[in-house]
Structure 1
Amino acid sequence: MYTAVIVDKHKVAIQEAAQPQLQADEVLIKVLYAGLCGSDVHLFHDEHPFRKPPMIPGHELVGEIAAIGPDVKHHRVGDKVVVNHAIPCGTCRYCKAGQINICPTKIVAGSAKMMGFFAEYVNVPERTLYTIDDGISMQNAAIAEPLSIGFHIMRRLAHLDRDKPIAIVGTGTIGLVALIAAKSLGYQEVYCLDTLDYNLEIAMKLGASGTFNPLRDNAVEEVLRITGGFGASGTIVTAMARGILTDAFALSSLKATIVMLPMTAQVMEANFYRLVSGEQALIGCRGIVEQDFADAVQLINSNYDFSPLITHVLPLAESQRAFELMVDRTEPVIKILIDPHG
């Protein structure tokens, strides 16, 4: 079979590999679509904290079961499935508390312990699978993993009343799936900020109450104005830029919760006066718990249309171009799907 391998910084090669051998509790999946994630781009830049070249990237997929191990009980050949690729240890204090997203020894796809999904076939344990209903678009289903993160973001804001305004700073894939999750959960007032007008147009199509481009608008003042001077009760930060945290504090209300997504080792400067004086809370957000993935699959199986997010579908042979598109932004791009058999 063929795989895409990041062999060095900024270099992707298509390589042949042996088809995976199944363990008793595993299934072999024919990969129909694999999504390109921002963390894969960190690997492409050789800036990821634990994913290092050479490595097969990818941890988002929808596929069809091609073979099953003898201990597989609930799935059969031909089933269409998505994969919750993060496998916790199940025994640490965090796993026992249901906080599997922060398990310090969890195994994830596209790492040294588990091959990535930019391949024609992959093998995964049956317990990682969720079934996609008949008639559902396989491209829509490929959004399952990032969508589950959107639901986990909203879990961090679950204490908010649904009629309170929220803001999303950064409308790449994660910002947009957070918007989708918020709207599906009944949040009525969601404002989105980004420097890319195309992304803001998609946010409006997906139900944003208003959008602002900080390069053109005084976004902080606009959010305050439209919320009657109070600001957003919850603010989701999905991007990194100079001053972004200061702006997030400023456009958020007193007692607001600010959820921080970017997993960066870079030092980020901010003016923390508003955070302290307004008794705001700044919290981190990482990964998912099982219910987040189940919520994502439920929305996918409801036949929700995720096509506005999918800007490119490329064959495996064009993986280098896919990464370059994500980095250079020579055309509007949100979610790129790789078709290993295209």
Structure 2
Amino acid sequence: MKGIVYEGPNKLSYQDVPDVSPKQGEVKLRVKACGICGSDVHGYLGLTGRRLEPMMMGHEFAGEVVELGAGVTGRQIGEKVAVYPVDFCGECEMCKKGDVHLCLNKRAFGVLDVDGAFAEYICVPEKCCFTVKDNVPYAIGSLMEPLAVSYRGVGHAGDLSGKNVLLVGTGTIGLLALACVKMKNPRKIFVSDLSDSRLEVARSMGADVLINPSKQDFKEIIMANTDGKGVDVAIEAVGATPTVQQAMSALAFGGTAVWIGNNKPMVEINMQEIVTRELTVHGSFLYGYEEFKTVVSLLNEGKLNVAPLISKEITLAQAPDYFYKLAHDPGELIKVVVVDS
């Protein structure tokens, strides 16, 4: 079979790789769609230490069941599935608490030395597979993983009915957070970003007020649209000082910020503003098994509008070129998905 092998910083090759066979409790999938994550791009550049060559990346994927391993009873040949990309032990302290994403013995597909889904086939545990309805395209199915990240983050904000909500950043996670916010019946959704084209994608996904702070007065627009109070909730999906400061400055007294962005290890904020205005800050990281299960159900039920953020569908053979492009000249690309040709 063919795969995309990471051979070191800035080195990816499309080549023949050993075929795979399902072990006890596993299914073999023909990979039908796999998204290129920002962490994959950083791994390709050799910046994270979380890609150990030689290996194949890819953890945002959906596929078709083509073979059943011994002991598999809950899957059928031809079934369409999205994959929870963490093989958890089910026996450690964290698993027994229900926090399988924090499993002490976990293997994450496409991370470190564990091969992922930038290949024609992959074998995964049956327990990691979730049925995707026939009317949901495979490319949409590949969005389950980042969608679960956003869903968890938005969940920290609680009930959003009738509230004013700001989203800062229109990358994949920010736009998927927008889809989750839209589902929760807010009063008004504000979106801020430096890219006008990405803001238009946000508009197509239901944003009410678009702000490009390089061209507009951010604070003035927020206050004019909230009766001078500020927003109730601000979701930061970049992870850098300017955007964190922007999100915090927009909050009303007693407001809540959710930080999903994870770009810089240190940011500078006005602590006195948080203390004297009694603001709440929630950090959010990854997602759990149940959250993944929930977002699959929501997409199966057609409750989330996520298709607009897919910028490009490419073949497996094109992946090395697009990794280079995403790393050095992404332009207006948001989510690039490798699909089975």
Give the TM bin, normalised by the shorter chain.
over 0.9
92-101 vs 22-31, which moves further: 92-101
Q: Cα distance, 1:275 vs. partner?
A: 1.5
- Contact 1:102–1:287 (8 Å) recurs in 2: no
Structure 1 residue 138 corresponds to structure 2 residue 138: yes
C-alpha deviations, 1:41-61, integer Å up to 9, x for none?
A: 120221225334433111011
Residue in 2 that maps onto 1:48:
48
Q: Cα distance, 1:330 vs. partner?
A: 4.8
- Contact 1:84–1:128 (8 Å) recurs in 2: yes
C-alpha deviations, 1:1-32, integer Å up to 9, x for none?
A: 11112222122111221112211100000001
Distance 2:305 2:255 in 1: 31
Distance 2:252 2:174 in 1: 20
Residue in 1 that maps onto 2:337:
337
Distance 2:288 2:105 in 1: 15
Distance 1:99 1:218 in 2: 42
Q: Give the TM-score normalised by structure 1.
A: 0.92
Residue in 2 that maps onto 1:274:
273
- Contact 2:55–2:113 (8 Å) recurs in 1: no
Residue identity opposite 1:28 in structure 2: K
1:119–1:130 CA distance, 2 compared to 1 (3 A): same
Distance 2:160 2:307 in 1: 29
- Contact 1:102–1:286 (8 Å) recurs in 2: no
- Contact 1:101–1:286 (8 Å) recurs in 2: no
1:88–1:176 CA distance, 2 compared to 1 (3 A): same
Let me know the Cα RMSD of the aligned residues. 2.0
Distance 2:298 2:264 in 1: 33
Residue in 2 that maps onto 1:77:
77
Residue in 2 that maps onto 1:2:
2
Residue identity opposite 1:108 in structure 2: A
C-alpha deviations, 1:239-293, integer Å up to 9, x for none?
A: 1344222222111122222111233463222232322221212221111122321
Q: Cα distance, 1:98 vs. partner?
A: 3.0
Residue in 1 that maps onto 2:175:
176
Q: Cα distance, 1:93 vs. partner?
A: 4.3
1:53–1:187 CA distance, 2 compared to 1 (3 A): farther
Residue in 1 that maps onto 2:312:
312
Distance 1:241 1:148 in 2: 22
What are the ranges of 5 or more consecutive residues in structure 2 without an aligned counterpart? none
- Contact 2:53–2:113 (8 Å) recurs in 1: no
Distance 2:105 2:267 in 1: 27
C-alpha deviations, 1:290-317, integer Å up to 9, x for none?
A: 2321221122212455331111111111
Residue identity opposite 1:246 in structure 2: Q
Residue in 2 that maps onto 1:229:
228
Distance 1:171 1:184 in 2: 17
Residue identity opposite 1:33 in structure 2: A
Q: Give the TM-score normalised by structure 2.
A: 0.93
Q: Cα distance, 1:34 vs. partner?
A: 0.4
282-291 vs 309-318, which moves further: 282-291
Distance 1:102 1:210 in 2: 37
Q: Match of 2:34, SS?
A: strand
Residue identity opposite 2:121 in structure 1: Y
**How high is the sequence identity, in percent, across the aligned residues?**
29
Residue in 2 that maps onto 1:191:
190
1:266–1:295 CA distance, 2 compared to 1 (3 A): same
What are the ranges of 5 or more consecutive residues in structure 1 without an aligned counterpart? none
Distance 2:95 2:230 in 1: 36
Distance 1:297 1:42 in 2: 27
Alignment of 1:205-220 (within 5 A): 205-220=204-219
Residue in 1 that maps onto 2:292:
293
Q: Cα distance, 1:133 vs. partner?
A: 1.4
Q: Cα distance, 1:146 vs. partner?
A: 1.4
303-312 vs 29-38, which moves further: 303-312
Distance 2:202 2:259 in 1: 19
Q: Match of 2:107, SS?
A: coil
Distance 1:253 1:149 in 2: 25
